[in-house]
Amino acid sequence: MTSYCKISLKPLTAREAKAGYKAAALRNLFGSNRVSPNLPFSRSEFFQSSRQYSQGMSISGVQQKLSLKVNEQRQLVPTSSGGEYILKPSPEAYPNAAENEHAAMRISELVGIETAKCGLVDFADGELAYITRRFDRLSRGEKIHQEDLLQCFNMPSEGKYSKTYEEAGKLIQQVAGGKQAVVLDFVRRVIFAYLIGNDDLHLKNFSVQRLPENTGRDYDRLTPNYDCLFCDAFNDGSTEQGLGQLALGLLLDPKDDDEQFSDAHRHYGYYTGIDFIELGCRLGIPEKPIQKFIDQLHHKQGDMIELIQHSFMPEAMKERASALLENRLRALGIIALKS
């Protein structure tokens, strides 16, 4: 039976299977293949003994995070400052969230979106946890200035669902000095969220960065993609998978500042490629690059399904994620309203 790398999801040789990782993947994530990916503490110790490190690092009160660094013994250990990595175990309410997020992030990278480096590591008791490398630090430790869109809107945390993606895109356009490439990157990430059923892509899950050499006020780019999940794959099968919603409204109705549904959405009852092309149009992005990205998603369908099958999600979750992706691809393939 073939084993797969807990970072890259590539097949392992018999020798590599003992460790669970490819050396190149370890180097890519940790900077060295000599760093131990086996955590020197258990899941229970993470919650019981590491509270001093994880204070203030909760995710909406649901998921806890822990900052890690590599010590002199090349082990990943908790730290209250200077952390290079963020560790996230699966919340009790969402078993296998770590494996789910890892698979979604690998697919984000596969389809050409710049994506945070990540992998799976083992607690001392054998449970897998999700780990990601911080992207707000330079190699020498200098911090890169970045803000999430909630901060850019100057809104409190409870407002993270209160804007549409059209409004978010226009804000990115503004703070990035009108850079079309940055706005297109944003549209592609919204399409990707729909593709994988990530219905929690709110304003805090988009961030902009200003590189150190930039002495102006405009931001240079979006940060690497992060917090991607097959949210609908947590459905236990007791309810039917639909063609889904998004965390925010897609288009803005200028008359009442609420979501405006397209003629296509009113016709089909769900988002299609037409809606995302319209989003791009309202943000000044031509149809061609958006259609090209949607075509690319269809071209990579087999590769995406293969990554899901190679992932560490349980079989039932793999099946739901694969079915979800196939359904959303069909919806994205609709680019003209049929009479």
Neighbours of 74 (CB within 10 A): 11
* Residue 178 zone, left/alpha/beta (φ > 0; ψ -120 to 50; rest): left
**Given the residues 199, 200, 218, 295, the one annotated as active site:** 200
C-beta of residue 223 within 8 angstroms of C-beta of residue 135: yes
- Cα 283 to the center of its chain, rounded Å: 22
- Cα 130 to the center of its chain, rounded Å: 12
C-beta of residue 296 within 8 angstroms of C-beta of residue 111: yes
Spatial distance between the Cα atoms of 46 and 92, rounded to a whole number of angstroms: 13
Has 200 been annotated as catalytic?
A: yes
Residue 241, both tokens: 């998978």
Catalytic residue positions? 200
